[in-house]
């Protein structure tokens, strides 16, 4: 089998990361979660007071010049290190483990506007291209098959209905809640709204919007079991790497 690049794109919360991680582990490839990189930039902006709440719209506004400066001064360093327990890479921001922080609602609700900024995309796309030089990589995101690796040997576009995705996200957050209070604040409608908002921003932004590459294979997993999905993926991998 030759070493290839596997690009997995699709909507948020459709199980891309779990699927990509599992595939990489099975075939001995490196896994890169590019969403985690956009989330880490968002966390940096939050930690450094770069968001301001707009009192009229209630929206979070980002101080773009400040973030741009931080990026140009090399103040945001994102790295991955394999977690010996899970076998999957954890995300580090400037040497600090941030895997759990970047999954919080505080970050999730602000990441799409950050991912729409051309100077953020430029920086991260460059780093992602460098990670794929040796091939043998499974990378998941929104623009991997279109902008990062348009030459990838295998491109998969994953989709599922917004309701199915919101339910999965709700279940995941519920599973992670450590206290009753944490579980009680979870609201399905808020999560569904967040999923739909992110879909809108991700597909309508000017730079590298989420769209299916012409040569991508579509995987709608609304009604697939994990096993069926894995079987489908392994088959596609074997066909492409042969």
User: Which stretch in 109-117, 152-160, 162-170, 180-188 sits in contact with ligand DC by CB under 6 A?
Assistant: 109-117
User: Which stretch in 82-90, 136-144, 174-182, 212-220 sits in contact with ligand DC by CB under 6 A?
Assistant: 136-144
112 binds ligand DC (CB under 6 A): yes
- Residue of 20, 111, 123, 195 interacting with ligand DC (CB under 6 A): 111
Nearer of residues 99 and 202 to ligand DC, judged by Cβ:
202
Instruction: Return the C-alpha torsion angle 235, 8, 99, 54, nearest 10.
Output: -150
Q: Within the chain, how many helices (H) and strands (E) appear?
A: 10, 10
78 binds ligand DC (CB under 6 A): no
Q: What residues numbered 27-56 form the site for ligand DC, per CB under 6 A? A: 34-35, 38-39
Residue 141 and residue 20: Cα distance in Å, rounded? 10
Q: Find residue 1's DSSP bridge partners.
A: none
Q: How far is the CB of 20 from ligand DC (least distance, A)?
A: 10
Q: How far is the CB of 58 from ligand DC (least distance, A)?
A: 19
* Residues 83, 21 contacting (CB under 8 angstroms): no
Instruction: Return the C-alpha torsion angle 225, 228, 231, 235, nearest 10.
Output: -120
132 binds ligand DC (CB under 6 A): no
Number of residues that bind ligand DC (CB under 6 A): 14
Nearer of residues 89 and 141 to ligand DC, judged by Cβ:
141
Q: What residues numbered 9-28 form the site for ligand DC, per CB under 6 A? A: 12
- Which residue shows structure tokens 């579980």? 183
Residue 124 and residue 41: Cα distance in Å, rounded? 10
Dig out the tokens for 54 from the structure.
Answer: 């707009």
- Residue of 4, 14, 93, 115 interacting with ligand DC (CB under 6 A): 115
Nearer of residues 99 and 143 to ligand DC, judged by Cβ:
143
Q: How far is CA 238 from the centre of its chain?
A: 25
Q: How far is the CB of 142 from ligand DC (least distance, A)?
A: 4
99 binds ligand DC (CB under 6 A): no
What sign results for the dihedral spanned by CA atoms 140, 20, 172, 87?
negative
- Nearest one of 131, 163, 126 to 147, comparing CA atoms: 126
Residue 157 and residue 138: Cα distance in Å, rounded? 13
Interaction site with ligand DC (CB under 6 A): 12, 34-35, 38-39, 111-112, 115, 141-144, 198, 202
């Amino acid at each position: 089998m030759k070493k290839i690049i596997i690009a997995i794109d699709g909507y948020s919360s459709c199980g891309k990361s779990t699927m990509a991680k599992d595939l990489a582990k099975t075939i001995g490839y490196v896994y890169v979660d590019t969403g985690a990189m956009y989330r880490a930039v968002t966390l940096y902006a939050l930690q450094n007071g770069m968001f301001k709440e707009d009192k009229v719209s209630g929206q979070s506004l980002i101080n773009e010049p400040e973030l741009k400066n931080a990026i140009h001064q090399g103040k945001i360093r994102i790295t991955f290190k394999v977690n010996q327990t899970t076998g999957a890479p954890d995300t580090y921001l400037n040497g600090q483990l941030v895997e759990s922080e970047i999954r919080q609602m505080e970050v999730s609700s602000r990441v799409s506007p950050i991912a729409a900024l051309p100077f953020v995309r430029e920086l991260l796309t460059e780093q992602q291209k460098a990670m794929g030089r040796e091939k043998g990589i499974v990378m998941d995101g929104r623009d991997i098959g279109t902008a990062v690796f348009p030459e990838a040997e295998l491109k998969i576009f994953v989709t599922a209905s917004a309701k199915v995705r919101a339910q999965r996200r709700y279940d995941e957050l519920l599973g992670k809640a450590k206290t009753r209070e944490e579980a009680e604040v979870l609201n399905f409608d808020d999560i569904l709204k967040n999923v739909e908002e992110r879909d809108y921003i991700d597909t309508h932004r000017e730079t590298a919007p989420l769209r299916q590459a012409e040569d991508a294979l579509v995987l709608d997993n609304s009604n697939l079991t994990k096993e069926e999905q894995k079987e489908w993926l392994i088959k596609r991998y074997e066909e492409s790497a042969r």
